[in-house]
Structure 1
Amino acid sequence: METEQARTRYRGAPEPADAGTSRRVTEQIGALLTVLTERPVSLYAAAVLRIGYGLLYLVFLLREFPHRDEIWGPGSPWTPELARQLFGQTGWVSILTLSDSRVYFEVCYAAALVTSALFMLGWRTRVVSVLFAVVVASFHARAIFMTDGGDNLILLMAVYLVLTACGRRWSLDARRARRQASVEKGESTWAGSVAGELRRQPGTSRRTLTAVLHNCGMFVIAAQVCFLYGAAGLYKVQGATWGNGTALHYVLNLDLFRPWPALSLAAAEHEVLTAIACYLTVLLQVAFPFVLFGRLKYPVLTMLLGMHLGIAVLMGLPLFSGAMIIADAVFVPDRFYRSLGQLWRRTGRWTHAREAEAPPQGEPALVPPQAVPASR
């Protein structure tokens, strides 16, 4: 009787604050685990990264095609033997140093071009993403002292993209999956349903593993970009030239980073604007990791886009600028990319409709009415 009365007495008593806090924390952890394991996030952003880095590296290899032997081939000043000696110290490996034959090098270069193109198009992305990472790592390790540094970020992103499901959107794999799904939907039979039941459990485990790897890969990519901007901003803060606003003035007067000297000199003449650009660069890079969870990130991303375009034009570093611009795409939500896709489809339908309404070539657009002769 006393126990029942005690239960009735304390049933309506307020819950302790610690219990409520722990329950909220448990619910938040459960929601986070659900998002992490149930479905891949930012699939469109992953597709943009795949297309961007595949296209960028393909253009890079095509751009350096006339100079391929001097940079990566047997005729390079950094010979394969020197590269192998460096690998013994750093632990790097490269498929380009397996043979000193020129024919072997040409075959590897052609395979790298094909792999970059297939990765960009999203054909058999699971396998091709691994091949793309091997290609980027091999070319990076072969001539580590002869590039502009932009391939460092491309190498990291190529490795991270192996973990992601970057072929789920805007790819040949996605197109093939849609066609296969429509065929299986039309051929739904009893035998097919039984086979589907047998495959359901392994398929569920596979989807969970894919979602976990993809979400962790996208998180690592985002964290890498944040660390990159934050470290760059903090290093700039320690420099005296960035503190007094003269860093860009000196950069614009370096012959090594002046592809168009007249343009660089014209920009360096505006001392106040270059000083403002110095302080704004440091502010954007330091503040970037702290504005990702609000609407302020969109103007910051826009200004960073302008900064990278300026670096590409004024300093002649298009590979580095392109790699950074593509990396920033990971912070753009999928609804933006979906709206772009819908706009593209509406534009295509409008164009087809206009072409269908257009008159045949050589015929007048409007036939004037014929006058009926008056009866007499």
Structure 2
Amino acid sequence: MHSETRRTAAAGVGPRLADRIAAGRDLLTGRPVSLYGAAVLRIGYGLLYLVFLLREFPHRAEIWGPDSPWTPALSKQLFEQTGWFSVLTLSDSRAYFELCYALALVTAALFTLGWRTRVLSVLFAVMVTSFHARAIFMTDGGDNLVLLMALYLVLTACGRRWSLDARRHRRRKAGREGERSGVRTQLLDARTTLVTVLHNCGMLVIAAQVCLLYGSAGLYKVQGGSWGDGTALHFVLNLELFRPWPALSHFVDQHTLAIAVAGYTTVLLQVAFPFVLFGRLKYPVLTMLLGMHLGIAVLMGLPLFSGAMIVADAVFLPDRFYASLPRLCRRVLRRTGRPPEVPGPAAGSGTVPAQGGPDRTASRASTP
């Protein structure tokens, strides 16, 4: 009796397991997922790094060039220990450095536009890696995530949407409607399957990287006493190195209850993030994370880090959300194109109140 029950159970498990394997195979090879999300990553990180290079253009020689205190010789010594590589260390010539910098600007711009994305994604990854490795101690660390995403984007089909490549592909497809030979069709199908598998694996790695980042950051904060007693953000707001507007930081620091709640909310969001991605709860979580990163950008003066995290979070929005954006924009433009019936209120300018009381000095620091 028991043997018949076990055989029946085994017979039922077999088909279910086969169905799950088939479903997983179809998900991996059937169609590329999150094409709009990959396009957002391409546009976001390409534009972000382009703005970063333009912002540091007056200081480029001191950070990555011949005038940097971290000389090419020191970089090469570090490469022997870390295994990094940078094309900027191939020559000490200023003309060579200026050429590399100009090439980096052009590469970031074309990658953002999605021109020849397969080749440009590799060049963009090499460029980001080279600049990061050349002066790894000269930046604030906000480009670490950009570096990882640039490497992952090489695997993805990030030029399929919102790109010059997509526009060119539509035109070629419209003008080329002939029959193909059997061998050519098989080769194209094999190429499509390979590209789909690489893209889906790349997007899976990107999602896992973001979840790992948030989860590990939240668990690391839980271990700290300052996050447990709600005082961590107080010390962060009093770090002289990360106070672009001291008056604003002092104003926020005066609201003790608010910064304590913000600290606990930060830990909760980061720890819960990997567990809310498969339900509707992820939308309010992503919205609160957006507010958190905007606060970091303003209060701590870390726009590159905040921008990189905001772009990474955008990959978890479904393609139907991005596909509906053009229709939503057209609807908004139609509404705003009509003459308003009631004039809007005049925009006022907000000012920070005068600060009172002595400024407090941080006795310890914590990273948000």
TM-score where L is the length of structure 2: 0.88
After TM superposition, list the pairs within 5 Å mapping 1:343-362 onto structure 2: 343-346=328-331, 350=334
Q: Secondary structure at the match of 1:144?
A: coil
Look up the match of 2:274.
289
Residue type of the partner of 2:203? M
Match of 2:59 in 1: 67
Matched, 1:247 2:232: yes
Distance 2:145 2:213 in 1: 10
Q: Distance in 1 between matches of 2:181 and 2:39?
A: 29
1:38 Cα shift? 1.7
1:138 aligns with 2:130: yes
The separation in 2 between residues aligned to 1:251 and 1:26, in whole angstroms, is 53
1:140-185 CA-partner distances (Å, limit 9, x unpaired): 0001001111111000000000000000000000000000011113
User: Which of 240, 257, 261 is residue 242 of structure 2 equivalent to?
Assistant: 257
Instruction: Say yes or no: does 1:58 pair with 2:50.
Output: yes
Letter in 2 for 1:47: A
Partner SS state of residue 150, structure 1: coil
Once the two structures are TM-superposed, the CA of residue 347 in structure 1 deviates from its matched residue by: 5.5
CA drift of 1:24 comes to: 1.5
**What's 1:374 paired with?**
none
How far does residue 19 in structure 1 lie from its aligned partner after superposition?
2.2
- Structure 1 position 303 matched with structure 2 position 288: yes
Give 2:251's aligned residue: 266
- What's the offset of the Cα at 1:132? 0.1
2:143 is paired with a residue of what secondary structure?
A: helix
Q: Does 1:179 align with 2:171?
A: yes
Distance 1:177 1:346, change over 3 A: farther
The Cα shift of 1:272 comes to 0.5
Residue in 2 that maps onto 1:126: 118
Between the aligned partners of 1:274 and 1:305, the Cα distance in structure 2 is: 17
User: Relative to total residues, which structure has the larger helix share, 1 or 2?
Assistant: 1
- Which one has the largest radius of gyration? 1
C-alpha distance after superposition, 1:124-153 (max 9, x if no partner): 000000000000000000010011111110
Q: What corresponds to 2:81 in structure 1?
A: 89
Match of 1:26 in 2: 18
Please list every run of 5 or more consecutive structure 2 residues that lacks an aligned counterpart in the other structure.
339-368
Q: Is the aligned partner of 1:337 residue 2:322?
A: yes
Q: Give the CA deviation at 1:208.
A: 0.3
Q: Does 1:160 align with 2:145?
A: no
Please say which of residues 336-345 and 57-66 is displaced more in the overlay: 336-345
State the TM-score, normalizing by the size of structure 1: 0.86
Deviation per residue, 1:196-248 (Å, 9 max, x gap):
43410000000000000000000000000000000000100000100000000
Partner Cα distance (1:32, 1:342) in 2: 33
The match for 1:208 is: 193
**1:299 shift after superposition:** 0.5
* CA distance, structure 2, for counterparts of residue 149 and residue 199 of structure 1: 47
Question: Which residue identity does 1:80 align to in structure 2?
Answer: P
Cα RMSD of the aligned pairs, angstroms, is 2.0
2:267 alignment partner AA:
V
Q: CA deviation at 1:14?
A: 12
Q: Which amino acid aligns with 2:196?
A: A
1:104 and 2:96 aligned? yes
Counterpart of 2:141 (choices 118, 127, 149) is 149
- For residues 276 and 18 of structure 1, what CA distance do their matches in structure 2 show? 52
**For 1:16, what is the secondary structure of its paired residue?**
helix
The 2-side partners of 1:208 and 1:38 are apart by: 8
SS at match of 1:241: helix
Q: Tell me, what secondary structure is at the counterpart of 2:171?
A: helix
Q: Give the match for residue 361 of structure 2.
A: none
Name the aligned partner's letter for residue 298 of structure 1: Y
Q: How many residues align?
A: 336
1:220 to 205, 216, 226: 205
Would you say 1:117 and 2:109 are equivalent positions? yes
Partner secondary structure for residue 158 of structure 2: coil
For residues 215 and 342 of structure 1, what CA distance do their matches in structure 2 show?
A: 27
In percent, how many aligned pairs have the same letter? 73
Partner residue, 2:356? none
Q: Distance in 2 between matches of 1:300 and 1:22?
A: 39
- Give the whole-Å Cα distance in 1 for the aligned partners of 2:143 and 2:234: 26
Amino acid at match of 1:264: S
Whole-Å Cα distance in 1 between the matches of residues 92 and 106 of structure 2? Answer: 22
User: Hey, what's the Cα distance between the residues in 2 that align with 1:296 and 1:341?
Assistant: 25
